[in-house]
Amino acid sequence: MRYNERELLSLARQPAEKAAEIRMSVPKKGSVLKKRLVKLVVNFLFYFRTDEAEPIGALLLEHCRITKEEENVFSISFIEEPERKYCFECATEEQCQEWVEALKRASYEFLRRSLIFYRNEIQKMTGKDPLEQYGISEEARFQLGAHRQ
Partner 1 sequence: MKLNERSVAHYATCDSPADHAGFLRKRVERHHHHAHHHGTSYQRRWFVLKGNLLFYFEEQESREPVGLVVLEGCTVELCEAAEEFAFAIRFDDAGARAYVLVADGQAAMEAWVKALSRASFDYMRLVVRELEKQLEEACKSLAACRKSPWKSSSSSGRKRHLSNPALLPLQEKPTALENGYSTWGSGGCVAGGVTYTDHDGGQTKPPPLPPRRRSAAGSTTGSPVPGLSPAMLESPVSPETICFSKLHNWYGQEIAVLRREWQERQKRGHP
Q: Which of residues 22-41 bind partner 1 (CB under 8 A)?
A: none
* DSSP symbols for 28-45: STT---EEEEEEEETTEE
Please tell me whether residue 75 binds partner 1 under the rule CB under 8 A. no
> Minimum distance between the CB of residue 131 and partner 1, rounded to whole angstroms?
8
Please tell me whether residue 16 binds partner 1 under the rule CB under 8 A. no
Please tell me whether residue 148 binds partner 1 under the rule CB under 8 A. yes
Contacts of 60 (CB under 8 A, 6+ apart): 43, 44
Please tell me whether residue 141 binds partner 1 under the rule CB under 8 A. yes
Please tell me whether residue 51 binds partner 1 under the rule CB under 8 A. no
Helix (H) or strand (E) run with residue 115 in it:
helix 108-126
Query: Which of 20, 33, 42, 73: binder of partner 1 (CB under 8 A)?
Result: 42
Number of residues that bind partner 1 (CB under 8 A): 71
Start-to-end CA span in the chain (Å): 23
Selection from 66, 83, 71, 105 nearest residue 29 by Cα: 83
Cα separations (Å) of 113 from 105, 117, 121, 122? 10, 6, 12, 14
Query: Which of 30, 50, 79, 83: binder of partner 1 (CB under 8 A)?
Result: 79
Query: Which of 70, 114, 132, 137: binder of partner 1 (CB under 8 A)?
Result: 114
Please tell me whether residue 116 binds partner 1 under the rule CB under 8 A. yes
